[in-house]
Structure formats: structure tokens, C-alpha cells
Amino acid sequence: MFGLDKKDTSMLIIVAILTLFAPFILNPFPTESAMAQFNAGYPDLMQRFVIFGIFAIGFNILFGLTGYLSFGHAAFLGVGSYSAVWMFKLIGMNVIPAIMLSVIVAGLFALLIGFVSLRRSGIYFSILTLAFAQMSFNLAYSVLTPITNGETGLQLTLEDPRVLGVSATADGSIPVTNLFGLEMRSTFELALGPWAFQFNAGYYLCALIMLAAFYLAIRIFRSPFGMMLRAVKSNQQRMNYTGLNTRPYTLAAFVISGMYAGLAGGLMASMDPLAGAERMQWTASGEVVLMTILGGAGTLIGPVLGAGFIKYFENIFSKINDNVLHTWFSFLPDGMEDAVVFIIHPFIGKGWHLTLGILFMLVVIFLPGGLVEGGQRIKGWLSRRKAKDSGKAAGETNPAE
Amino acid sequence: MGILEVKDVGKRFGGLQALSNVNLSVQENSVHAIIGPNGAGKSTLLNCLVGKLIPDTGSVMFDGQSVLGRAPYEINQMGISRVFQTPEIFGDLTVLENMMIPCFAKRDGAFELNALSAVLRQKDILQKAEHMLEEMNMADKRHMHAAAMSRGDKRRLEIGMCLSQEPRLLLLDEPTAGMARADTNNTIDLLKQISDERDITIAIIEHDMHVVFSLANRITVLAQGTPLVEDDPQNIRGNPKVREAYLGESA
Amino acid sequence: MDAILLQILNGLDKGSAYALIALGLTLIFGTLGVVNFAHGALFMIGAFCAVTLQRILNLSFELVDETQKDFLGNPLKVKTPYVEAWFGPDIGGSIIDWAVPLAILFAIPIMIGVGYVMERGLIKHFYKRPHADQILVTFGLAIVLQEVVKYFYGANPIQTPAPDALNGVVNLGAAIGMDIVYPVWRVVYFFFAVLIIGGIFSFLQFTTFGMVVRAGMADRETVGLLGINIDRRFTIMFGIAAAVAGLAGVMYTPINSPNYHMGMDFLVLSFVVVVVGGMGSLPGAVLAGFLLGVLESFASMNEIKSLIPGIDQIIIYVVAIIILLTRPRGLMGRKGVMED
């Protein structure tokens, strides 16, 4: 189906079901229950899942396939956000032109940076992209203040022209982003017994776009172009002596992944129309690297998993505090309870980055293939055990015969 | 007029004159061996032919066109394929994929943004790659990771990859270096078969006399960066100058 | 003229910090072949060594002093640092005052220890892994170290003043009839950096150890074949590189109050410095460090900023990009370093 083989089609369908039913799946706990704080089915967080999913899917096309480790992809995300907000300021609040412009501008920007950075490979490339990203951050933060509004970030105002829309609504407020009239913030709430599920227009727009982006990524992975990119990673020397010019291949991959990042940035601004320089900082680039590696670089599903994993636990970990821990471990004797809480304390709440750093190191050291490799290992282990068990069972029954 | 004409090529690295006044003519459909003691400049010469190095002086013409200043991939597209001393293959890809890549390079050129069609739908490429794998006797390994193969198989694969491009000139850089006797003999047989069955010119850089005299019908002896003599194998065997420069040393 | 000299001086102290960090980075590149993204964190840990020592020296006990009353007439509680109680207020007070320079002695063993543990415990296992993995694992380590420091010391910058005697300004131009007023501590920092750089170079140049390390940088396998235990020496080298970064951090605290993310901030620039200098070239790292420091301070002159607004923010990156494109191996780089 869709020009994919059976395995890829079923993966796409599973991802589609998971994203479309996410408001249910991510809200397993009744609203009033103590566990409700671990629900993740509210619009803001779900939007982040899929937007960062897009970002990571795109990053993976570059890093996972060609092995070129860019530390500057947040720059494209930031450029995408700025472009989208400018579209909202100048043209109107429809998200389609905004998203289109973010993808185009990010693509052009990636073409420029990629053209320069890809003249070198290996760690030189990483450092060049790092330098470009940091330069873009500095530009956005202070130099290009007329375009980016510097430290404060770019926001909508009542004075914006919005030639195809209105500068202010009838009640004198700033209009909201919409898709041909469907407001991105509009949310339908469904109460089912003690549960409450939220269906947000913005989320579903992002989710559909992510599915399209994911589908496109599958096509790229399975195409001759994708195979060439893997060949670049494997042996550039052989590429060159097989009559293939590696530079346009890597540049195309760089631009495509930059456009994915721009798309993510544009969606981010469409959900919440502001853009700030901090989105371009190199630590933000580091985050997408983390997502991709954690999920499994070079695999299709890995980056989506990684993005979801990091954003979910970022949200949960930030919510846990000492009181929550005390209720969890109240079954322990008092002294031990305090000790356990004391030990866990640095890793929760604001300590999420610490947990993330440790997790990241553990993954790189022990599980370079990320969660996907972990899953495969468990699967392999289980099937081996099963084989052994059935072998044993067979062995036991044999004498009886 | 040979298919490959090297005229007055010189190359200097700092204080070392690696090549000087190299003249060489490789005739179409011949197997031409370039031999010489270590440090004679064989590898430097080879690198000048494939675009890795640019000679300081002289010219290198392939089929009437200069190769100087062209990138390796352009020279390959002109019809020169190179086999490396240690097999250079795509270790992370499967054997079949390894074989498909040169087929794509032959069909689509140096770059093609073919990002939306599935590899599995490229029937012509698949067919060609499968055919070549069969010819190389490695069809049963098609789904193996190339890196997991033995050295002899990697060599076979690399030669097969070069052949699937239908090159007019196949350059081999010590193709049997570090191989056991049996593997060496297999490789010799393979190369013999290739030169017999195909419309192809082979230039081979080799250290091993057994390989050279089993294959070549023309030999150039290189010593200290300059061709000493170019002749038929039987004349080379009897040439006292060659014995002194090369064979004498190993005898 | 005065203004130009002042800018050069301004650039030198920042350049010193770049040069010291880049020197350590290059030592690690050159000897171990490892790309260490945690090197900035070592700089930061050094700075927090100074903070820690300052806090230790300021540990106090409280006494109720009946002779002094607060405005309500209650006896005043007076805090006295232990150091002052033990050594008397004069000596004790100056010990506290000199906390930052004293922290050098405190930091050297700590930094060497940190470096040793890092190399043996983590980096060692990554020699044979791809550079991307090295970057990633050290990047993870940098996050962890920075978060640990944040946990213990908080997110706000911590003031760590230089000793009073070195806290003022000095007119460096007096001797040549010019007026160049400059903070004393920055002068101290520059000479300190020169001293360390000189020390490292003479150590590599004149000792047997250094000779082996240099040989190892040029050709690791051959030296290994000679039966010299190059791995152990490289471990020590890592410790030294860590110490250099740490000392750069210790001495930098009075110039910039340390905070937990200072390492990351310096890391990016230090990498740029290393690349501009030429990967694997020690003199290149030092030269590029000072050069970029001075360039940066020139670019922040008002005359230049009015010509090209914002140039001070991006000059280093622009220069780095131009150099990498025109001289791919950097100013003094050798062929074949990290080029796979």
C-alpha cells in the first residue's frame, strides 16, 4: 500500500493509530485520581510530542543515514519559527502559508550552511555546524533585533498589518492562528465517566503532518537515494571510485533534514505564535541528537520513539517532587523512606536534565542502537528462551514416549 | 595509440621525486602489468591515473581525453574502475546492495535525486546486480552484510562491483596482496576469465611475479620513478636490466 | 593608539582562557585521538574548585558577643571563620582573601584526579569507537557534570573576588607615557596563562616523558612497538590536560563569576579555536586562542561596531568559517588528523 512493502505499511498504520488515538492512549488515568498527573493527553504536550517527532525524523535522515553529526539543526527550527511568526504578522493567521514559508526559508538556510559545512567531514563538520548554529543564535539574539526582536522574542501585536486578515479582532484582541477558520487552540472535550479526553485541532493538524513526514521518510529510506546515503556513511572512498559524487547526496540530505526542522519550527509557531532565540541554541540541537540516538539512529521508528520518550519523561519528571516521592515510598520504614527520597531527589523535578544526561551516556555506552536495539535484544532474548523452553519440554516428553 | 596514454608524467613530494618522465601506453583489450620494487612509484602513478593525485608535469589521456584535474568520480564515469589493495566495499550494506550501487552509478550518473521510488521497484538494476552476483558465484550471499565476508569474497565482490559498471579500463592495485596461495590462484583465474570473456582492458599493479606472469601480456617495469623497460613477458623475463633492478633483488 | 593597545590587552585575557582550554583539548586530540566535549565542563569544575575553597575557608562558627549590641539592644551574634580563629584575624583574613590563588593548589590534585577517573572510567572504552560516539558520550558527560554542579551550587553566578591586593587597576601605559588603565587581575591572568603554556611546552620539549608523548602524537603504533607503555602516559596526559583546563577555570573566577553553564559557553568557542589553530597542533591552539581573543575585542570597539553592527557577536565564527574553507587544516594543522 502507498508504494510501501508490507512491513513498512504496518509500521505506518501502527504509528497512525497511536498518534490519532493519542488523546485516549495518553490519558489512562481518571481526572480525579492521584495518578492523573501522569496523564500526558493534554494538547500542549501532545503537540510537543509530534512536533519534536518531526524534528527528529528529519534529523535522522541526515545523521542516521549519512552519519554526518550536525550540532546545528536547532538553527533551522528557529528560522522556521521566525518565518512563521512573520507570516502571521504580515499576511494573516492562517497556518498554511506560515508553515510553507518556514519550510522554504529553512531549506534555503540549510542549503547555505550545508554548502559550506559539507566541504569537511567527520568532526570538522560537527564543529562547523556548531559554529554556524551558535552564530545564528547570536545573530538572532542581538544583531538582527529588527527581525527577531532579540531577547524578548518575536511576538504578535495589535499593530501588525496582516493584509489578508485583521490586525485585531472585534473585541480588540490579537487574532488566533487557524486553518481556514478552524482555530488551532479549539479543543473538544469528551467526558466518559471519570475520564476526560481532549481533542485539539492543533494537535490533529500536527499529527497529520507528522504522519505525512513519517511516510515521506519511509519512502526516502527505501529509495535508491536513501541507499546512496547509507553508502556515504559506509565508505565514501568507494563511492567516489564508483563514479558517484558524494557532495550533492549529503547536501540534499542536509537540506531535506533542515526542511523537516523548519517544518517543526513552523508548527511550533502555529501552535503558539511566538519565536525566541533560545530555540536556536546549540543545546537545543543537542536535544534532537539525544532524541535520535536514544530512539535509535538510522532506524525509521527510533527518532519518533526517542522524541516521545524524552518529551514525556521531561514532563513527568518535572512534576514529581519530594511529596510525591514520600507518598510512593510510604510503605518503607521511616528512615529508609527518607533515604530513598533523598537519593532520588537530585534526579527529579529540576534534576530532569541530570537524569537525561545519565540516560544518554548509558545508551551511548551500552546500547548504541537506542531503544530500537533494546527492543530487538529483548525480543531475541525472549525467543531464545522460548526456544530453549520448548526444547526442554520436548526433551522431557521424549523419554515418556 | 593505446586506450590509456601517459606522457612525461612527473610528481614530486617535497624533496622526493616520486615519478619522472613516465611514459606508458596501455593497448586496448590487453592485460598490462606495472611492476617494480617497493618505492618505485607504482602507487603514485596509479593515484595520478584515477584523480587522487595531480601530476606536476605531463599528461594522462584516456580514450583521447585528459583525465588531469578531474575528480575520481568523473574519471570513473569516463570508464575507469579501480580495485583497491585492501578491498573497499560498503561494509554496512548487504552484498546485493553493494552490487546495485555501481549499477545505479552506471545508469543514473554521478548524482540522481531518486528519493521517492522504491529500490525494490528498480527491476533492471536488481536484475543486473543479481546476474553479476551469479557470475561472481556469490548469489547465495546476497543478503549477507558485506563486512561479514571473508577477504577473498570481499575481493570478488569488489571486482564484481567494478565489472558491473562495464568499465573500459579496470585498474587493479596489488589485488592479491596478503592473500593465501589458494585465494591468489582463484583471483588469477577470475581475472583471466574476465579478460578472456569481456571487452575490457586491464592494468594491474603487482608485486607478485607469479600473478604478473600468469596474467599479463604486456609489462612495464618501473624503477625509481621511471619506466625501465616496456615489453612482452618473455622478453622481460630475460632482460638483464630488469633482473638487476627487480628480480635480482628478490632472487 | 591608547584605545588599540587597550583592546589588545582586553583580548589577551580572554584569549588566554581560550588558549588554555584549546591547549588541553588539543593534547587530548593529539595523544588520545578523542574529541572531548566534556572539556568545557573541566574548566567549569576548576572554577568551582575556587568557589568550594572559598566556602571552606569561610566556614564559621557563631559567638554571642555581649560587648556588641544590635539596634534592639540584644547581644549581637558574630560569625568568625575557623581560619581566623586558628591563625588569628590577620593571617586568617588574608588566607580567606587569597582564596582564589590558593585554590590553584587545591585544584591541581582534584583536576588530575577527575581527569584520571574520566579517562580510565569512560574515555578509555571509546578509543576504538567512531568519533561521533566520542562526541556523544562526552556531550552526555558534560550535561551530567554541569547538572551535578547546578544541584550543589545552584543556578546563579557566584561571586569569587580576587585578593584585595590584586583587585584594583593599574596604569600599564605610565612607563611609555600613555594612559592605559587596566585591571590588575587580568594582567595576572595573562601571565599565569603564559606561565602554564610555557610549562607545558617545555615539559613536552625537554623531558623524556614529553618526548615519548610527542612521538606518540606523531605515530602511536610505532611507539607502542618500542615497548613503551604509551597508554599509561596518555592517561597522565589526560590528567594534565584536565588540570590545565581546571586552572584556567580557577583563575578565571574573578573575571567572570562562575555559573554551571560556563563550561558549555567556553566549549563551543574553544572548539572553534582548536579548529582554527589546526587540529592536533599545540602552537596552533595557543596562537589561535590569542588571535581570536584579540579579534573579538577589536570587534567590540564602538568604532567598528558602528561600521558593522553586531560584528562582535559573530566575528569568531565568521573567521573560523573563512579559515576552514580556505585553509582546511587550520593555521598550523598537520595532514591527516581526524580526517576519516
C148-175: pLDDT as tens digits: 998 899 888 888 888 887 887 877 767 6
Verify whether the Cβ–Cβ distance B116 to A220 is below 8 Å: yes
Query: Residue B149 in contact with residue B95, Cβ under 8 Å?
Result: yes
Best of A241, A251, A259 to mutate (most B CBs within 10 Å, chain B): A241
Place of cell 542516521: A64
Model confidence over A356-400: pLDDT tens digits?
Answer: 889 888 988 888 888 999 999 999 998 888 777 776 555 444 443
Which residues of chain C make contact with A134, given a CB cutoff of 8 A?
268, 317
Paired with B80 in beta bridges are: B169
Subunit contact A282:C268, Cβ cutoff 8 A: yes
From chain A, pick out residues whose CB is under 8 angstroms from the CB of B105.
242-244
Query: CB-based contact (8 Å) between B68 and chain A?
Result: no
pLDDT of res. C315: 87
* Count of pairs with CB atoms under 8 A, one residue in A, one in B: 111
Q: Name the least confident of A77-86, A238-247, C306-315.
A: C306-315
Please tell me the number of Cα atoms within 13 Å of A354 on its side-chain side: 18
Q: Which residues contact A140 (CB under 8 A, 6 or more apart)?
A: A78, A82, A148, A150, A277, A280
| DSSP-H helix ranges across A235-333 | 236-240, 246-271, 282-295, 302-319, 322-328
Q: Has residue A131 got a pLDDT over 80?
A: yes
Please enumerate, as own/partner, the contacts of C162-171 that have beta carbons within 8 Å and a separation of 24 or more.
C162/C100, C162/C188, C162/C254, C163/C94, C163/C97, C163/C98, C163/C100, C163/C101, C164/C97, C165/C97, C167/C254
Does residue A108 sit in helix, strand or coil? helix
Q: Would you state the cell numbers that stand for residue C71, as one nine-digit string?
A: 539596634
A182: helix, strand or coil: strand
Of residues B237, B173, B239, the one with CA closest to residue B206: B173
> In this predicted structure, what is the pLDDT of residue C271?
85
B residues 22..51 contacting A (CB < 8 A): 50
- Do residues C264 and C146 make contact, with C-beta atoms less than 8 angstroms apart? yes
Which residues from chain C sit within 8 angstroms of residue A139, using beta carbons? Answer: 310, 313-314
Position A26 confidence tier, pLDDT thresholds 50, 70, 90 = confident
Main-chain phi, psi angles of A72, to 5 degrees? -130, 15
Confidence of residue B100 (pLDDT cuts 50, 70, 90): very high
Kindly determine whether residue C135 and residue A364, on different chains, have CB atoms separated by under 8 Å: no
Q: Where are the beta strands (DSSP E) in C132-223?
A: 169-171, 181-183
Give A348's pLDDT tier (boundaries 50, 70, 90). confident
Q: What CA–CA distance (Å, rounded) separates C39 from C241?
A: 9
CA distance C50 to C54: 6
pLDDT over threshold 70, residue A246: yes
| CB-CB contact of C123 with C32 (8 Å) | yes
Decide: A60 and A217 in contact? Cβ < 8 Å.
yes
The SS3 call for residue C247 is helix
Pairing of strands C75-81, C60-69: antiparallel
Give C65's strand partners. Answer: C76
Q: How does DSSP classify residue A149?
A: -
Residues of chain A found within 8 Å of residue B115, distances taken between Cβ atoms: 219-220, 223, 225-226, 252, 256
Closest CA to A208 of A76, A297, A96: A96
Nearest by CB to residue A365, choosing from C137, C310, C328, is: C137
A249: closest chain B residue by CA: B111
For the four alpha carbons of C135, C141, C145 and C151, in that order, the dihedral sign comes to positive
Nearest CA of chain A to the CA of C152: how many Å?
Answer: 10
Given a cut of 70, whether residue B247 has pLDDT beyond it is no
CATH number of domain containing A17: 1.10.3470
pLDDT at B169 > cutoff 70: yes
Residue B206: per-residue pLDDT: 86
Q: What is the dihedral of CA A141, A142, A146, A151, to 10 degrees?
A: 50
In this complex, the residue of A223, A234, A239 whose CB is nearest that of residue B114 is: A223
Amino acid at A98: A
CB spacing of A360 vs C136 below 8 angstroms: yes
Mean pLDDT for the stretch of residues B230-251 = 73
Residues counted in chain B: 251
Which among B91, B112, C33, B205 has a CA at the least distance from the CA of A237?
A: B91
Least CB-CB distance to B88: which of A223, A225, A238? A238
Does residue A356 sit within a domain?
no
Which of B105, B118, B120 lies closest to A243 in CB terms? B105
Which residue in C35, C133, C309 is closest to A143 by CB distance?
C309
For residue B99, the chain A residues in CB contact (below 8 A) are none
pLDDT of residue A395: 46
pLDDT for A396? 44
Residue A226 has pLDDT above 60, yes or no: yes
Mean pLDDT of chain A: 89
The residue in chain C having the minimum alpha-carbon distance to the alpha carbon of residue A70 is C132
Distance CA C40, CA C25 (A): 9
Instruction: Using the predicted structure, report yes or no on whether residue C50 has a pLDDT greater than 80.
Output: yes
- Per-residue cell: B23: 611514459
**Domain tally for chain A?**
1
| Inter-chain CB proximity A123 and C313 less than 8 Å | no
A293, A367 Cβ separation under 8 angstroms: no
Neighbours of chain C (3+ CB pairs under 8 A): A
CB within 8 Å: B161 and A230: no
Q: Report in angstroms the alpha-carbon separations of C190 from C187, C253, C295.
A: 5, 14, 16
Contacts of A60 in chain C (CB under 8 A): none
- Interface contact A131-C317, CB threshold 8 A: yes
Question: Residue A250 is part of which domain span?
Answer: 6-281
Q: Which residues does chain A have within 8 Å of residue C278's beta carbon, measured at their own beta carbons?
A: none
Region label for C337, one of left (φ > 0), alpha (ψ between -120 and 50) or beta (otherwise): beta
Distance from CA of B244 to the nearest CA of A (A): 36
How many beta carbons lie within 10 A of that of residue A201, not counting itself?
Answer: 18
The answer to whether residue B116 neighbours chain A at the CB level (below 8 Å) is yes
Q: Do A283 and C147 touch (CB under 8 A)?
A: no
Distance between CA atoms of residues C200 and C206, nearest Å = 10
Comparing CA positions, the residue from C264, C240, C295 lying closest to residue C20 is C240
Euclidean distance between CA atoms C201 and A44, whole angstroms: 56
**Residue-wise pLDDT tens digits, A138-196:** 899 888 888 898 888 999 988 888 888 888 888 888 899 999 989 898 889 888 888 88
**pLDDT value at position A397?**
43
Q: What is the pLDDT of residue A398?
A: 45
Who wins on pLDDT, A142 or C112?
A: C112
Tell whether C327 is within 8 A of chain A (Cβ): no
pLDDT the model gives residue A1:
59
* Nearest CA distance, A263 vs chain B (angstrom): 19
Q: Which three cell numbers stand for residue C312?
A: 562582535
In 3D space, the residue among B85, B42, B84 whose CA is nearest the CA of residue B246 turns out to be B42
Cell of A354: 541530570
In three-state secondary structure terms, A189 is strand
Is A108 within the bounds of a domain? yes
A304 occurs within a structural domain = no
Lowest pLDDT segment from A195-209, B97-111, C263-277: C263-277
Quick one: C160 exposed, middle or buried, by C-beta within 10 A (0-12, 13-18, 19+)? Answer: buried
* pLDDT surpasses 60 at C337: no
Which chain B residue has its CA at the smallest distance from A235's CA?
Answer: B90
Q: What is the Cα–Cα distance from C1 to C179, expressed in whole angstroms?
A: 10
Whether chains A and C touch (3+ CB pairs under 8 A) is answered by: yes
Looking only at the bridges linking them, the beta strands covering C60-69 and B16-26 are: unpaired
Rounded Cα distance, A18 and A12, in Å: 10
Is residue A316 in some structural domain? Answer: no
Query: Which pLDDT does position C340 carry in this prediction?
Result: 42
Evaluated on CA atoms A128, A129, A132, A133, the torsion sign reads negative
A140 within some domain:
yes
CB-based contacts of A310, cutoff 8 Å, min separation 6: A52, A287, A290, A291, A294, A356
Quote the pLDDT of residue A60. Answer: 96
pLDDT tens-place string over residues A59-117: 999 999 999 999 999 999 999 999 999 999 999 899 999 999 999 999 999 999 999 89
CA dihedral B114, B119, B122, B127 (to 10 degrees): 140
Q: Grid cell 600473478 — which residue?
A: B211
Give the residue from C52, C28, C69 showing the smallest Cα distance to C105: C52
**Quick one: angle between helices A352-366 and C131-153, nearest 10?**
150
Chain A: touching chains (3 or more CB pairs < 8 Å): B, C
Please name every residue paired with B243 in a beta bridge, in sequence order, or none if there are none. none
| φ, ψ for residue A397, nearest 5 deg | -75, -25
ipTM (interface pTM) = 0.92
The fraction of chain A above a pLDDT of 70, given in percent, is 97
Enumerate residues 6+ apart whose C-beta is below 8 A from C105.
none
Q: If you search the block for the grid coordinates 545508551, which residue do you land on? A: A363
- In tens, the pLDDT along A266-308 reads 999 999 998 988 888 877 888 899 899 999 999 999 999 999 9
φ/ψ (deg, to 5) at A243: 80, 20
Residue A272's Cβ-count burial label (10 Å; 0-12, 13-18, 19+) is middle
Touching status, chains A and B (3+ beta-carbon pairs under 8 Å): yes
Model pLDDT, residue A253: 97
A67 Cα to chain B: minimum distance (Å): 12
Q: What amino acid is encoded at A113 in this protein?
A: I
* Cα–Cα dist A233/C131, whole Å: 13
Tell me the three state secondary structure of residue A52. helix
- The average pLDDT across B201-209 equals 89
- Identify whether A307 is part of a domain: no
CB contact under 8 A, B112 and A225: yes
Closest-CA residue to B119 (of B97, B141, B138): B97
Whether A195 maps to a domain, the answer reads yes
pLDDT, greater one: A122 or A240: A240
- Relative to beta strand C181-183, strand C169-171 is antiparallel
Residue B200 is predicted with a pLDDT of: 92
Chain C CB contacts of A121 under 8 Å are 339
For residue B116, the chain A residues in CB contact (below 8 A) are: 219-220, 223
Q: What is the pLDDT of residues C213-251, one digit of tens each?
A: 777 777 666 666 666 677 787 788 889 999 999 999 999
**Domain annotation covers residue A361:** no
Residue B246 clears pLDDT 80, i.e. is over it: no
- Phi/psi of residue A155, nearest 5 degrees: -130, 165
Nearest C-alpha in A relative to C121: A365
- Is the pLDDT at B131 greater than 90? The verdict is yes
CA trace torsion B16, B17, B18, B24 (10° rounding): 180
Q: Are B164 and B101 in contact (CB under 8 A)?
A: no
Query: In A19-168, which ranges are E strands?
Result: 154-155
Q: Tell me, what's the pLDDT at B55?
A: 92
Cβ–Cβ < 8 Å for C28, C135: no
Cross-chain Cβ contact C135/A132 below 8 Å: no
Cell numbers placing A295: 530512539
**Chain A nearest CA to B148, separation (Å):** 14
